[in-house]
Amino acid sequence: MMGRLCKGGCMIGPSILNSDLSRLAEECQRMLDAGADYLHLDVMDGHFVPNLTFGAPVVASLRDKFPGVLFEVHMMVSNPEQWIDDMSKAGADIYTFHLESSENPHQTIQKIRSKGMHAGCGIKPKTPVEPLSELAPLLDVLLVMTVEPGFGGQSFMTDMMPKVKYLRERHPDANIEVDGGLSPKTIEIAAEAGANLIVSGSAVVKSSDPKGVMTQLRDVVNRYRDSEKAEA
């Protein structure tokens, strides 16, 4: 059963990897109570990226506790096709794989959809944006990484914004997601470039006022999205 992914609207997805992992369910609830639109679950295999996090059993455990919440699994893994079945059974709503790790992205997207999940595809900072743009008509989420994937707490890469702008100009109704270093200090430039799905880790999760931070992020994105619609 697909979750509630809105088309082109602003959504804020805290990255729970930045939370207290010994209290994962409580931390997820804290983010939802503060106004999170979805939860961004970073899955790392120690191969595609150097870090190792969690897999389908953790996602399934969280799904049991949060049956109506939109889950995006960000698959920073080699051979992303291998985990589609498991993540579908675990209850993921959006399966976002990396273009760099898939030998046949069209086939990967088809398999994701066949399992009832939204299909997302992401690119690392050194990957050109054009191949992702070509896949856009087949995708529900276009992810532009604004840090090198694998670890939290990195600085936002402003030079990734031309990629976001390129995608927004060619795909005005697409869900364009940015992930890495998003905060009240960097949201303006991301929103101006055209991002509407905002993954934020430390800035939200480690804040004493996560609701205030998410409200600020959402307000800035909505201002730019409303301006774009008015100009269309």
Q: Among candidates 72, 119, 128, which has minimal Cα distance to 100?
A: 128
Q: Among candidates 152, 158, 51, which has minimal Cα distance to 144?
A: 158
Angstrom distance (rounded) from CA 17 to CA 28: 10
Chain centre distance of CA 160: 15
Given 37, 42, 93, 140, which residue is catalytic?
Answer: 42
Determine whether 141 is exposed, middle or buried from the number of CB atoms within 10 Å of its CB (0-12, 13-18, 19+).
buried
Q: Left (φ > 0), alpha (ψ -120 to 50) or beta: where does 57 sit?
A: alpha
Catalytic-residue membership of 37: no
Given 37, 86, 179, 226, which residue is catalytic?
Answer: 179
Task: Please give the angle made by the CA atoms of 163, 127 and 171, to the nearest 5 degrees.
Answer: 35
Q: Among candidates 181, 182, 175, which has minimal Cα distance to 197?
A: 175
Chain centre distance of CA 161: 16
Under a CB-based contact definition with an 8 Å cutoff, are residues 161 and 193 in contact? yes
Residue 180 to residues 4, 5, 198, Cα–Cα distance (Å)? 23, 20, 9
Catalytic-residue membership of 45: no
Q: Which residues are catalytic?
A: 42, 179
